[in-house]
Amino acid sequence: MDNFKKPDSSLWQGRKSNANLYLHEKVICVDTLKQETTKTFAILSYACDEGVKRNQGRVGAVTGPEAIVRQLAKMPNHLKKDTQLLDVGTVFCADNDMEQAQQTLANTVTTLLKNNTFPIVLGGGHDIAYGHYNGILNAVEKHKTIGIINFDAHFDLRANTNGNNSGTPFYQIAEDCKTNNIPFNYLCLGIRDDANDASLFKTAKELKVTVIKNEDFNLHQSIKILEQISAFIANVDVVYTTVDLDGFSSAYAAGVSAASPMGFSPDIALQCLQTIIESGKLISLDIAEMNPKYDLDNQTAKLAASLVHTLIHTI
């Protein structure tokens, strides 16, 4: 594929123990995928911010995956010996062709899932979601319903009348679901009034999106939040989770394309992620909008890496 690069082992650096105490010592960089018989996680990078550019956002997320991997590499390894952690390479956007990058992403995700491997996709703009979702759709059995859980300040339900971008992926998915007569199950966590115009709230209502707004998305209301998440998951067969880092307050995540101090905190996000994992229905996850250009002391990259670290050690 012209828009796919082999994994770069030089990114996986850190303290040396010679006893697999750190993830850079645990990870295996692979050129070809095979059917896995043990628990396996695959890091797949999506180095593309063409969608952010089209959406008039701050570019720089193209180097986001690399920044996350560098921080993840240094973290301690508590995985069981027979659990595999793979780096399977990078999808990139060649000649501004975001749609082709999304197609390559979809094909790779499908292959991973069919090989009994859990994809962890690192971005990159939130246009990552359209490719990722289609990869899942092509991998699961036709009768199974997919639930999308999005940690985000934004609905990303903009109409794609003037083209696709980082703000249109869930609208595109909803339109595809309508065309194919399949349910559109979408839960948004952390939606802000100051980040979405009235037309987006209208679209969300028409599409029957389940919404927990940012002012209600905190530890004080965690019991109610977790009940809502559990109820959503109960009505679907599998769950795809996407974490847009711009949903977090810029106190924790300054390195994003659309930063705001008004976002949510990591503690409620981690509680929710725990509930999603415990459901047993989570089959794939991505992290979007990591923008190293605006990061402070790698804090946002470290936050993203910690989310991945939590995921692989909890499933």
Q: What span, in angstroms and rounded, lies between the C-alpha atoms of 67 and 288? A: 12
Nearest to residue 152, comparing CAs of 58, 277, 258, 64? Answer: 258
Please, what's the b/e burial string for 291-311 (b: 16 or more CB within 10 A of its CB; e: otherwise)? bbbbbeebbbbbbbbebbbbb
Q: What span, in angstroms and rounded, lies between the C-alpha atoms of 248 and 260? A: 8
Signed CA dihedral, 213, 102, 178, 140: sign only = negative
Q: Is 286 annotated as a binding residue?
A: no
| Residues contacting residue 223 through CB under 8 Å, at least 6 positions apart | none
- Residue owning tokens 């996850």: 285
Q: Is-cis flag, bond preceding 51, omega within 30?
A: no
Pairing type for strands 4-5 and 84-92 reads antiparallel
Q: Is 244 annotated as a binding residue?
A: yes
Q: Is 154 annotated as a binding residue?
A: yes
Give 172's Cβ-side CA count (13 Å radius). 22
Nearest to residue 66, comparing CAs of 247, 307, 298? Answer: 298
Q: What span, in angstroms and rounded, lies between the C-alpha atoms of 29 and 86? A: 6
- Residue owning tokens 């999005």: 150
Nearest to residue 239, comparing CAs of 271, 204, 272, 264? Answer: 272
Contact (Cβ atoms closer than 8 angstroms) between residue 91 and residue 46: yes
Q: What span, in angstroms and rounded, lies between the C-alpha atoms of 68 and 303? A: 9
Signed CA dihedral, 217, 220, 223, 224: sign only = negative
Q: Is 31 annotated as a binding residue?
A: no
Which residues sit in the known binding site?
126, 152, 154, 156, 244, 246
Which residues sit in the known binding site for Mn(2+)?
126, 152, 154, 156, 244, 246
